[in-house]
């Protein structure tokens, strides 16, 4: 028999379909950024989203870069997972830092003689409502003379073979009678059955030894699923809109009651949605959703002001480096931006026009886009070496 090699995928959904889903989720955010860059007309709209006034990358962009690096490291770790099957043995190489051991799955390096395999036991997870979750949580036990090895049977792809995983439409459908058929047709299960000459036995899922095996499955509780959806929406909106509003500054005191009201309403909603779930999970998810919703209120107030208010253009005067004053509006203090070289170029008493959006919540929102464009141009010219400027 030709040696077969298998590689691991964290998803039971085909890569093309998963990429399309991510595109649908991230497309509106990226599209908004590109539209804002196009509407700016000065060629700096997109640059303004990712850089602060002194030309350095914004903290949100740095956090996003860290998240991307972590995801890349996890993906790299998963690429180190390898299975090999030949006429004599079944070789397993699953690094421990992949985290699969937390789910009670086999990790480490093992050489399993085929002659020592006594049983191939499939454990379909029929408690899940959709097919993708059922496939993800199903297990294959390889029982030998002295131990058991546990794998995710549907997550291993045959090198050089077709992608056997399901599409997005099937992933969201109910499992029906297809679960066991799909598991038996998976390349790893089928190859092991042929090599050992043993038919797979189907049994009920037992309790895995991993530290996460006994945790409550939030996806089995409809109210908890709704809360997880709200957590995702609030988190994505807050992060995305906060990035888009980086060129605006709040003048005056933000009212406290919108934040308190949002927190109380969200907590009450989560308390009702979480009925029937264990107290630890119910409380933990409710706290996360409440914090995310309360935090998203900050960019939400600003966005509401931009959409509903009539902008007013007014003239401020430079009072000192980074400080602008107006007789009828609150003082504009921008010294925290740490761009002293740029502030030094603005003479005391010089006039600067700003667009201000008065809010029905009692504060004002000032558009600093023109000023920040000047600061970026200033530092950009400073970065050009002598003799290279046009």
Identify the pLDDT of residue 339.
81
Tokens 């030949």 sit on residue? 86
Identify the pLDDT of residue 215.
53
Q: How far is CA 298 from CA 60, 110, 115, 287, in A?
A: 15, 53, 64, 18
Domain boundaries, the chain: 1-214, 216-308, 312-383
| SS3 at position 184 | helix
Q: With contact defined as beta carbons under 8 Å apart, do 365 and 302 qualify?
A: yes
Identify the pLDDT of residue 8.
93
What are the residues whose beta carbons fall under 8 Å from the beta carbon of 384, sequence distance 6 or more? none
Q: How far apart, in whole angstroms, are the C-alpha atoms of residue 385 and residue 194?
A: 69
Q: How far apart, in whole angstroms, are the C-alpha atoms of residue 95 and residue 146?
A: 22
Identify the pLDDT of residue 294.
94
> pLDDT (tens digit, 0 to 9) for every residue of the chain, 390 residues total?
689 999 999 888 888 887 887 777 767 766 666 665 565 544 455 555 555 555 555 555 666 677 777 777 777 878 889 999 998 999 999 987 777 887 788 988 999 999 999 999 999 887 766 788 888 889 999 999 888 999 999 999 999 999 999 888 777 776 656 888 899 999 999 999 999 888 888 876 554 454 444 455 677 788 888 999 999 999 999 888 888 888 888 888 889 999 999 999 999 999 999 888 888 788 989 999 999 999 999 999 999 999 998 999 999 999 988 899 998 888 888 887 778 888 888 999 999 899 999 998 989 999 988 888 888 888 877 655 555 544
Beta bridge partners of 90: 85, 112
DSSP letter string, 87-152: SSEEEEEE-GGGSGGGGT---EEEEEEGGGEEEEEEE--TTSSSHHHHHHH-EEEEEESS-EEEE-
pTM confidence score: 0.51
Tokens at 272, concatenated:
């009702």
């Amino acid at each position: 028999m030709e040696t077969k090699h298998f590689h691991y995928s964290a998803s039971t959904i085909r890569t093309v379909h998963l990429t399309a889903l991510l595109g649908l989720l991230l497309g509106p955010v990226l599209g908004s950024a590109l539209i804002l860059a196009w509407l700016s007309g000065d060629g700096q709209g997109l640059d303004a989203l990712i850089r602060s006034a002194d030309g350095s990358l914004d903290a949100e962009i740095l956090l996003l870069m860290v998240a991307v690096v972590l995801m890349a490291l996890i993906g790299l770790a998963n690429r180190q997972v390898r299975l090999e099957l030949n006429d004599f043995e079944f070789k397993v190489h699953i690094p421990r830092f992949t985290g699969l051991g937390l789910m009670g799955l086999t990790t480490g390096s093992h050489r399993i003689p085929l002659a020592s395999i006594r049983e191939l036991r499939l454990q379909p997870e029929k408690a899940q409502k959709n097919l993708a979750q059922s496939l993800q949580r199903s297990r294959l036990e390889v029982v030998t003379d002295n131990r058991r090895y546990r794998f995710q049977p549907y997550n291993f792809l045959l090198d050089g073979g077709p992608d056997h995983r399901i599409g997005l439409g099937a992933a969201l459908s109910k499992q029906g009678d297809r679960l066991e058929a799909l598991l038996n047709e998976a390349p790893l299960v089928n190859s092991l059955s042929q090599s050992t000459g043993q038919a797979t036995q189907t049994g009920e899922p037992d309790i895995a030894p991993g530290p996460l095996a006994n945790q409550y499955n939030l996806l089995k509780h409809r109210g908890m699923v709704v809360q997880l959806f709200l957590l995702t929406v609030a988190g994505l909106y807050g992060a995305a809109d906060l990035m888009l509003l980086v060129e605006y500054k709040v003048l005056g005191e933000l009212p406290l009651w919108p934040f308190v009201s949002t927190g109380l309403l969200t907590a009450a909603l989560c308390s009702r949605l979480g009925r029937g779930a264990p107290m630890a999970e119910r409380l933990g998810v409710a706290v996360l959703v409440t914090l995310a919703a309360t935090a998203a209120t900050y960019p939400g107030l600003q966005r509401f002001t931009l959409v509903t208010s009539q902008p007013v253009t007014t003239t401020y005067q430079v009072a000192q480096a980074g400080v602008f004053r107006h007789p009828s509006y609150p003082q504009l203090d921008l010294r925290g931006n740490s761009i002293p070289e740029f502030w030094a170029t603005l003479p005391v008493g010089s006039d600067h026009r700003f667009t201000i959006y008065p809010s029905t919540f009692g504060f004002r929102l000032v558009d600093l886009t023109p000023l920040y464009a000047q600061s970026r141009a200033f530092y950009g010219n400073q970065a050009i070496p002598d003799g290279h400027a046009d």
